[in-house]
Structure 1
Amino acid sequence: MKNKLYPLKFKPILKDKIWGGTKLKEQFNKPSDSNQLGESWEISTVPGDVSEVVNGKLKSQNLQDLLELYKGDLIGDKNYKRFGNNFPLLIKFIDAKQDLSIQLHPDDDLAKERHNSFGKTEMWYVMQADKGANLIVGFNQKMDDKTYLKHLEEKTLTKILNFDNVKTGDTYFIEAGRVHAIGAGVLLAEIQQTSDVTYRVYDWDRVDDEGNERELHNDIAIDAFKFDLKDDFRVDYIKEKNLSNGMVSCPFFTTNYIELDSNLEKENLHDSFLIYMCVDGEVEVVTEDTKEVISKGETILLPAAVKDFKLNSKNAKLLEVYV
């Protein structure tokens, strides 16, 4: 007999990066001794990096196995029909001590054809930014492949990229095919399709300890660019308290912003799992049988079978995600 499903917490999968720093361990208490901790994968079924449950009766089981066992009860019947045993989202926190490479991601069609993978449309919510920190998203002028390649060849790519100075709460929606990079000093939450396919087009000419540059993917990246995307990547959203305020809604995920200063009764009306990322404060997630607390920098997954629950908090800010 299958165990009854309940809100699931997972062991973070920690990734050292050449550009990583110390904020994930200092601000979110991620268990690492590294000074180059770049990413905390909160919920993942990427092969080789599958999330493991750390609470309740399903402790030590992994998300991939649970999906295959519980199917629609875990992710929703419509999602199971659409995705099968492929969990559709990858949830991360990212700390950029240095600039990330300038990059883009293929869409579903190209990713399936080349990598047998989902494409990668994503969004960012800035949790903290040092003074002067920026994000690169899109171009600062109308662009085509010929102009882009000329700047790439002449190493003047940064002249045509759009740099935005950012602060806490700033939110960006990055469709597959849009050029982007996280700038030094930015700590953010990332919600994305389940994909680890990145086309790196420029890496600031940096080298590793042995003098090697990281691989670039310009030969295949050019086909992935969508030069005709609109300049609509900045997300405006309302911050009315104790409500789910819409941020991003696209074919791959919906994300809402919730700011709590009192307890909130919730009902899952979507045929989907719900994910809560705590981006500030602390919240207690209460169901009929369970109570779980998540603090800033932590994440919880509510299976689709969990319909009624409470979010108890006096000070939490949450991202609410479903498909």
Structure 2
Amino acid sequence: MYPIKFNTILKKVLWGGAEICKFKHLSELQDGIGESWEISQVKGNVSVVDNGEYKGCSLTEMIQHFGADFLGKHVYERFGEKFPLLIKFIDARDNLSIQVHPNDELAAKRHNSFGKTEMWYVIAAQEGAGLYSGFSKQITPDEYVERVHNNTIMDVLQFHPVKSGDVFFLPAGRVHAIGKGIFIAEIQQTSDITYRIYDYNRKDANGKSRELHTELAKDAIDYKMYDDLKTVYTSESDKTVGLVSCKYFVTNLLDLNKDIKRTISDKDSFVVYICMEGEASLTDNDGNNINIRQGETILVPAAIEWVKFGVQTKVKLLECYIPKI
């Protein structure tokens, strides 16, 4: 086993921008790319290994062949051969629709799928950009339906201005939307289920509106009021800073100016490193060496005991793994 890079899966969408290809240093610059799927086992979009002995193998094949050595024993026992996370970069040139995702129970009942709890790390944001997360006032399910029908749902959503480094945790059921001018890294459960609530009355080239899922969303929404919709943390150089800890994933921030060694074996889980800026070498306990730079994502299999980052320039990484529960 060795640290693995995967081929990038680019998604061209109407609201996509021009930043993803540049951020990832891709040779072919494409406009209108809204998402880059870094690690995925979503049907029809399964990641393929891009380095080493297993280059060309799919993520599914790697899990089938290595099992717990790849995922971690407790992860394998919990999820079997399903990879539990979907890792993305998102570049929003225009506002994304107001949406919500179902929880595990509802998603299993309706779609035979995981639910979708996720988090956002804001990599960059234009001046004045912001996003929506949660309600600004208490409403009822019936009021929600009425507001969707009379185009006033935006009046009760909480808007958050954002800047680079901001973090938002979005448990399933929380109404949300990414605003235009925002570039983020997204870590989420493996699910592609989205209920669209509101789309600003936009029309496509044929004059048609996109489908709304008003009734499906009604039962999926968490209508409670929350005060802590934005994650508060203090970044510290060369230390592990916790950002999100839930039963689906733990995410830490590593802002490194010097070399650092990270233990993997105690987590009993694969570990994903997503590079926000800079460049570093990554060496594991077997002597395998690989570089990671801005825009790249590496998966370290659970069988690897430790990795060491050799910092070439100041480097900022998100570290993500599946916790024991």
Q: Do they fold alike, i.e. is TM over 0.5? A: yes
Alpha-carbon distance between aligned partners in 2 of 1:15 and 1:32, rounded to the nearest angstrom: 14
**Residue 307 of structure 2: which of 309, 314, 319 is its match?**
309
Supply the AA of the counterpart residue of 1:319.
L
Alpha-carbon distance between aligned partners in 1 of 2:110 and 2:26, rounded to the nearest angstrom: 34
Query: Is the contact made by 2:103 and 2:115 (CA closer than 8 Å) also made in structure 1?
Result: yes
1:209-224 alignment, distance < 5 Å: 209-224=205-220
Deviations 1:217-248 (A, max 9, x none): 11211010111252322111232222221110
Alpha-carbon distance between aligned partners in 2 of 1:77 and 1:31, rounded to the nearest angstrom: 38
**Residue 244 of structure 1: which of 231, 237, 240 is its match?**
240
Match of 1:260 in 2: 256
Match of 2:58 in 1: 62
Three-state SS of the structure 2 residue aligned to 1:209 is coil
Query: Is the contact made by 1:138 and 1:231 (CA closer than 8 Å) also made in structure 2?
Result: no
Match of 1:271 in 2: 268
1:16 and 1:240, CA in 2 relative to 1: closer, same or farther beyond 3 A? same
Match of 2:76 in 1: 80
Three-state SS of the structure 1 residue aligned to 2:267 is coil
**Residue 284 of structure 1: which of 276, 281, 291 is its match?**
281
1:1-323 alignment, distance < 5 Å: 5-30=1-26, 34-228=30-224, 230-268=226-264, 269-287=266-284, 288-313=286-311, 314-323=313-322
How many pairs does the alignment contain? 319
Return the offset for 1:40.
Answer: 0.2
TM normalised by structure 1 equals 0.96
Query: Is the contact made by 1:238 and 1:246 (CA closer than 8 Å) also made in structure 2?
Result: no
1:249 and 1:286, CA in 2 relative to 1: closer, same or farther beyond 3 A? same
Alpha-carbon distance between aligned partners in 2 of 1:286 and 1:114, rounded to the nearest angstrom: 44
Alpha-carbon distance between aligned partners in 2 of 1:186 and 1:296, rounded to the nearest angstrom: 17
Alpha-carbon distance between aligned partners in 2 of 1:307 and 1:239, rounded to the nearest angstrom: 26
Supply the AA of the counterpart residue of 1:58.
Y
TM normalised by structure 2 equals 0.96
Supply the AA of the counterpart residue of 1:282.
E
Deviations 1:15-72 (A, max 9, x none): 0111101010122224655421000000000011000011110101010110011111
- Which blocks of at least 5 consecutive residues in structure 2 are unaligned? none
Return the offset for 1:211.
Answer: 1.7
Return the offset for 1:82.
Answer: 0.3
Alpha-carbon distance between aligned partners in 2 of 1:275 and 1:229, rounded to the nearest angstrom: 32
Query: Is the contact made by 2:275 and 2:294 (CA closer than 8 Å) also made in structure 1?
Result: yes
Return the offset for 1:215.
Answer: 1.4
Alpha-carbon distance between aligned partners in 2 of 1:28 and 1:162, rounded to the nearest angstrom: 32
1:175 and 1:229, CA in 2 relative to 1: closer, same or farther beyond 3 A? farther
1:95 and 1:64, CA in 2 relative to 1: closer, same or farther beyond 3 A? same
Supply the AA of the counterpart residue of 1:111.
A
Q: Which moved more, 1:162-171 or 1:24-33?
A: 24-33
Alpha-carbon distance between aligned partners in 1 of 2:201 and 2:156, rounded to the nearest angstrom: 17
**Alignment RMSD (CA, Å):** 1.2
Three-state SS of the structure 1 residue aligned to 2:212 is coil
Supply the AA of the counterpart residue of 1:135.
L
Return the offset for 1:157.
Answer: 1.2
Q: Which moved more, 1:174-183 or 1:278-287?
A: 278-287
- Which blocks of at least 5 consecutive residues in structure 1 are unaligned? none
Supply the AA of the counterpart residue of 2:270.
F
Supply the AA of the counterpart residue of 1:102.
I
1:104 and 1:30, CA in 2 relative to 1: closer, same or farther beyond 3 A? farther
Query: Is the contact made by 2:135 and 2:225 (CA closer than 8 Å) also made in structure 1?
Result: no
Three-state SS of the structure 2 residue aligned to 1:222 is helix
Alpha-carbon distance between aligned partners in 2 of 1:92 and 1:255, rounded to the nearest angstrom: 14
Structure 1 residue ranges (4+ consecutive) displaced by more than 6 angstroms after TM superposition: none
Alpha-carbon distance between aligned partners in 1 of 2:167 and 2:205, rounded to the nearest angstrom: 34
Alpha-carbon distance between aligned partners in 2 of 1:312 and 1:131, rounded to the nearest angstrom: 34
Identity value in percent: 45
Supply the AA of the counterpart residue of 2:188.
Q
Three-state SS of the structure 2 residue aligned to 1:223 is helix
